[in-house]
Amino acid sequence: MGIFLSMKKAIDLLPAVEIETGGSPTHTIVWLHGLGADGNDFVPIINELMLPPDASIRFVFPHAPERAVTINNGYVMRAWYDIYRADFNDPEDQSGIRDSQEALDALIEREMQRGIPSGHIFLAGFSQGGAMALQTGLRQNNPLGGIIALSCYLPLAETLAVEACVANATTPVFMAHGIYDPVIPLSHAAASRDKLLAANYPLEWHEYPMAHSVCEAEIADISRWLRHIIG
């Protein structure tokens, strides 16, 4: 069937681009953009994933709120949370992270109200968006289908042990990172990976010879991973 495109905005819900690959969707993938981009940034990935033609999936690409970003001289842009400095040892914007988590929780709830079982809902994201996919997915009260975290890290890592929800203790996680990433060092992402593996999350890890970006081989691996879970 054809692809249907619409813009959605409702009270207390993030505005988003929505694309359905068929009628009566059975799954939803909420895909989160990186710092300074918007929901349109990852729309092309729908065709690139080459998922089964008979799969009816609703892709939701929300736009992060606009806020001043300290690391970018206070310039106002779409961001899931503020970043104070490039040094990841600095304090994190806990209020911004948790506000975005709440907004994403609302999107997940909306999808459930539309008839999508929580186990058929996936959170995916790149960079800041990937960090929010981990932040939200691992703390979600409803069991999700999976989490895709690309070129990112685990935010508020020190609070995960007490905030993680048992409902997503066995939720599959796909993490991938560029070996030459100058924005989020591979070592920082690997430390997040190790923390999740130590907590026994079923995590699949990939490294690619790229910078802070997405590559063809990575998309192929995501496609395989999604096909395996969706069935």
CA distance 140 to 200: 17
pLDDT digits (tens, 9 = 90+) for 133-185: 999 999 999 999 999 999 999 999 999 999 999 999 999 999 999 999 999 99
Catalytic residues, by residue number, are 127, 181, 212
Mean pLDDT of 72-95: 91
Crossing angle, helix 128-137 and helix 94-113, to 10 degrees? Answer: 70
pLDDT digits (tens, 9 = 90+) for 39-70: 999 999 999 999 998 999 999 999 999 999 99
Burial profile 63-102: b = 16 or more Cβ within 10 angstroms, e = fewer: bbeebebeeeeeeeebbbbbbeeeebeeebbeebbbebbe
pTM for the full predicted model: 0.94
